[in-house]
Amino acid sequence: MTGDLFESENEQPWAESRGEGVVVLRRFARADAPRLLDDIQKIASQAGFRIMITPGGHQMSAAMTCAGDWGWVTDRKGYRYQHEDPQTGAPWPAIPERFSQLAGRAAEEAGFSGFQPDACLINRYEPGAKMGLHQDRDERDFSWPIVSVSLGLPIVFQMGGPKRSDKPERILLEHGDVVVWGGPARLNYHGVLTLKKGNHALTGPYRYNLTFRKAG
Ligand code: MD3
Ligand code: FE
């Protein structure tokens, strides 16, 4: 008898394999989550969340900011990684040690040792926000995986294949879930469905997603 008020708060993480190159580490980031969220707020106080514009002139639906040597941006000129926040001209905030440690441990679990991300994209979803099917291919070296960390409200993730027309599989991503996408899955199409309204104890109306990349 542990006397825990919420059993779900201290369940042990477990791994699920979702085909070659995809490892879902359920709850892997849950114990760290309060501190990760503090770190996100600190980053956002230096490089605020903003809605970016696609090259086609449409607004993205999630608000974004970045940390690391490289930050991902989109505007009328295109998608790219750059060293400076276009909003301030200052370098992006550093990736907090806690973030790098988590990303490295997750990659290791999935068989990628020595993963040292130089870019962390932070997405913030509010109810109604989504992300259409796309590939992440602005990075230089696709032999490194992408590690994603979900915090706050749950969302339905769509995992497609290497072709846009491949029928996507749906995976519910919940608070603390970490996914490592590497090898043959690295260039798979993916996206998330519309975030539903909710109130999470740690994030209120939001879902945050961290993606760790080796961009440069
Ligand atoms: C599969 N973010 O930032 S994370 C993105 O929930 C992005 O915010 C989504 O797609 C989000 O680019 C999904 C899961 C994810 C991230 C990168 C991948 C899945 C991936 C790269 C290749 C294959
Ligand atoms: Fe993506």
Find the range with the poorest average confidence among 6-10, 75-79, 121-125, 132-136.
Answer: 6-10
What burial letters (b/e) apply to 44-74, b meaning 16+ CB within 10 Å? beebebbebeeeeeeebbbbbbbbbebbbbb
Question: Any alpha helices (H) in 21-160, and if so which ranges?
Answer: 33-46, 97-109
Residue 144's pLDDT band, with cuts at 50, 70 and 90, is: very high
Q: Over 60: is that where the pLDDT of 2 sits? A: no
Q: At what angle do helices 97-109 and 33-46 cross, to 10 degrees?
A: 130
DSSP 118: S
What is the percent of the chain where pLDDT is above 90?
94
Supply 120's token pair: 């962390």
Q: In angstroms, what is the span from residue 186 Cα to ligand 2's centroid?
A: 10
Average pLDDT of the residues in 165-185:
97
Is any ligand 1 atom within 6 A of the Cβ of residue 65? Answer: no
Q: Are the beta carbons of 116 and 142 closer than 8 angstroms? A: no
Is any ligand 1 atom within 6 A of the Cβ of residue 208? Answer: no
Question: Any alpha helices (H) in 30-144, and if so which ranges?
Answer: 33-46, 97-109
pLDDT on residue 11: 82
- 187 Cα nearest atom in ligand 1: 22
Residue 151's pLDDT band, with cuts at 50, 70 and 90, is: very high
Average pLDDT of the residues in 52-68:
98
Is any ligand 1 atom within 6 A of the Cβ of residue 100? Answer: no
Ligand nearest to the CA of 123: 1
Is any ligand 1 atom within 6 A of the Cβ of residue 192? Answer: yes
Nearest residue to 211 via CA among 77, 7, 29: 29
Ligand nearest to the CA of 66: 1
Q: Are the beta carbons of 207 and 125 closer than 8 angstroms? A: yes
pLDDT on residue 208: 99
Question: Any alpha helices (H) in the chain, and if so which ranges?
Answer: 33-46, 97-109
Is any ligand 1 atom within 6 A of the Cβ of residue 149? Answer: no
Q: Are the beta carbons of 99 and 32 closer than 8 angstroms? A: no
Residue type, 87: Q
pLDDT digits (tens, 9 = 90+) for 76-106: 999 999 999 999 999 999 999 999 999 999 9
Separation of alpha carbons 42 and 28, rounded Å:
22
Q: In angstroms, what is the span from residue 125 Cα to ligand 2's centroid?
A: 14
Q: In angstroms, what is the span from residue 14 Cα to ligand 2's centroid?
A: 23
Nearest residue to 36 via CA among 92, 98, 95, 93: 98
- 150 Cα nearest atom in ligand 1: 6
Nearest CA to ligand 1 atom 17: 146
Radius of gyration of the chain (CA): 16
Q: Over 70: is that where the pLDDT of 4 sits? A: no
Ligand nearest to the CA of 212: 1
Residue 178 bridge partners (DSSP): 25, 149
pLDDT digits (tens, 9 = 90+) for 23-37: 999 999 999 999 999
Mean pLDDT score of the chain:
96
Residue 39, judged by CB atoms within 10 A of its CB (0-12, 13-18, 19+), counts as: buried
Ligand nearest to the CA of 207: 1
Average pLDDT of the residues in 54-62:
97
Q: What's the residue count for the chain?
A: 216
